[in-house]
Structure 1
């Protein structure tokens, strides 16, 4: 006997331990949802992008090879060639086929803030992507709420259906005894038995629905969801809205500001040093190459200042585009807040409605229970038929079901309101 008590205690304790709360399911679903991996991918992508942009400060090296054939080349006038020939010098002139293999090197000293601007834009784009992922991931909470409260409602329906089956079975046994004693008709017994079998059939369907929904929630959360703990009644959410979508809009506006500041960098001059070297023919010494057709090493070093004023042509339009982007983002924020406010109003009114109905649910159940018990007593004494009893049993069960629905729906609206405000 002691072993059985210990075993039952362990089973009960394990059942309590395995009961999942709504917060636990939401936390598990957030970690299990595949989109969570995007946070790390975005961070890595942003890091690599910034590193690539930062390499703009490294020397830029370009290797090239060139082979050309020209229709004409630089040559001495015929009179000068004759003069050189008289002096014993043969001026061959440049050949029409020319070749170069070289390397160009450029080192930026001042870029007008272009690289710094690109770094800021890349980092801000990463923040926008993270905010978008956070907004998408937040939708997981709503889906968990739907499945969690649907499971709670199914649990209540199964419990109430079990009570109906128990009541019908009790009446069935009484009628069976009454049929044997000749105080009740066989049809009354069969009527109650048929209703009990129908209730048992409904129970099977409800349990199958619960098993399917339990499996869906388990897969969605990545944990084995067995028993659920009914959440506590919470106070109305505060008026301050802290939804991740609002942070997404803020980051998008900051990105537009960062891009506008980047337009200024396009107008500033750029300063750098360069070096060019090549091996080929002709070289920099044209006179020598006219005398001798030999390849030579050549090089040039210097400082280069460039100022591209082409950005002025599109600056006005670029700023106008960014202004329109801001207006679109602000409009999207207004639409979101409007819809969010409408949703809050609906949820608040639903909570108030369910709360009002729940105030009379207990009284209705007490009255329906009294009527049902009186019907059972009258059936025993042969005053009413089984149809009247079944009607009262169903009325009592409907009253209890309405109470459960009102309670679960009110809890659901409370937590949905919390979700709407991101409390």
Structure 2
């Protein structure tokens, strides 16, 4: 009778396994029918919809406007002016001749005129102002690139975090299946008087704990999915499927191409433009000018009639006040350039340290993965033996729980190590600036 009962239980277990496999296949088929969310899609959506991305257009428009305004300095400078004055004395001819009375210049004088000035040495200043505007625009774009790169890192963290939670949920589900199988065998053993009912109760309590853990994992996953949806500008369902990214081959000799390096370069170009501009503004200013007007007197100071006039020529001026602080201003620019160089060196050092850390972590994970398969094989063998012993009453429920947990930890360890290795590879590439 006992043997017959065991055969019946085994058939029931086989049917349950078959039904479980069928349901799992149906779930996988339903999941495959949906398009799984890829990391590349998330990165593209984040780059398109995040508010930071809108600053590119603002920076481009602002840079073009600044350069255009600076380039207007090449055009002639136009001035319209007028003047009305009265003076205490005027020019007179100190001669007295018979029959000749020298003209007397009126003390009230009026003049309205227009003047056009074409700078010559000022064109150097205009050129460097345009270069400065372009350098500042490039620096602003690089700052945005740095922020967008940080956004990609955040998207990666959430995406791989969800994949890690999926592995934890999968392992938790496998554990609950093992516990249910153990409960079934414990109930069978208790029915035949080879085990106490309390053993099955212990397994049921552990099953409740495992289901609670699964509930926590799923709740955390929903939180991660919600955060990812906010970053990419999409409404993502809590059970959205994610596709595991392809393995990324890392090259230790790859060149660092981070946006921070472009920012340092743009800042140095801005300082160079400031340096040239500082030199130009302290040169003598030479310009061509032409002036035309209408007034009394015109060019003939002895003529009291309103008349038009015109005058043109070459003009030079030199404000030497800027030379007082020129040396200190150059020194300040030099210190700013040195500060950027120091930041550049520090950034490269920190980046290389981070790359070494990721490379060491990947090597460690590869060694762990190589041994995980053997650990799982041994843990599974021990668990199956404990399950059989549980059915015949030669092992306790606590023994079985320990072996189930051990195998679950081993499988979860392998899944996590594989996913961590993939994540570390992506972190390595992100640190390089890919």
Question: Could you say whether these structures have the same fold, taking a TM-score greater than 0.5 normalized by the shorter chain as the test?
Answer: yes
CA distance in structure 2 between the partners assigned to 1:271 and 1:334 by the alignment? 45
| Aligned: 1:277 with 2:301 | no
1:324 paired residue number: 335
Superimposed CA distance per residue, residues 376-403 of structure 1 (whole angstroms, 9 cap, x where no aligned partner):
1111111122112111111111122222
Superimposed CA distance per residue, residues 86-131 of structure 1 (whole angstroms, 9 cap, x where no aligned partner):
x999979636xx7766544434355352212211221122122222
| Aligned: 1:228 with 2:239 | no
Please list, as runs of the form range in 1=range in 2, the aligned pairs for 1:104-183 lying within 5 A after superposition: 104-108=115-119, 111-183=122-194
CA distance in structure 2 between the partners assigned to 1:135 and 1:62 by the alignment? 45
The alignment partner of 1:319 has SS state of helix
Gaps of 5+ in 2: 1-25
CA distance in structure 2 between the partners assigned to 1:12 and 1:112 by the alignment? 67
Among 406, 413, 416, the residue aligned to 1:395: 406
Offset, 1:159:
0.2
Among 24, 40, 60, the residue aligned to 2:77: 60
1:254 paired residue number: 269
Please list, as runs of the form range in 1=range in 2, the aligned pairs for 1:207-222 lying within 5 A after superposition: 207-222=218-233
CA distance in structure 2 between the partners assigned to 1:55 and 1:184 by the alignment? 96
Judge conservation of contact 2:159–2:228 (CA < 8 Å) in 1: yes
Superimposed CA distance per residue, residues 141-192 of structure 1 (whole angstroms, 9 cap, x where no aligned partner):
2112211111111000000000011111122223334444444322222211
Judge conservation of contact 2:189–2:393 (CA < 8 Å) in 1: no
CA distance in structure 2 between the partners assigned to 1:75 and 1:268 by the alignment? 34
Superimposed CA distance per residue, residues 328-358 of structure 1 (whole angstroms, 9 cap, x where no aligned partner):
1111110001111111111111111111112
Judge conservation of contact 2:285–2:318 (CA < 8 Å) in 1: yes
Judge conservation of contact 1:103–1:278 (CA < 8 Å) in 2: no
TM-score using structure 1 length: 0.83
Superimposed CA distance per residue, residues 235-284 of structure 1 (whole angstroms, 9 cap, x where no aligned partner):
333422121211222222222223323344331542121315356x7776
CA distance in structure 2 between the partners assigned to 1:13 and 1:379 by the alignment? 38
2:280 paired residue number: 265
TM-score using structure 2 length: 0.82
The alignment partner of 1:113 has SS state of helix
The alignment partner of 1:230 has SS state of coil
| Aligned: 1:40 with 2:57 | yes
2:40 paired residue number: 23
| Aligned: 1:374 with 2:385 | yes
The alignment partner of 2:313 has SS state of strand
Corresponding residue pairs, total: 402
1:14 paired residue number: 33
1:301 paired residue number: 311
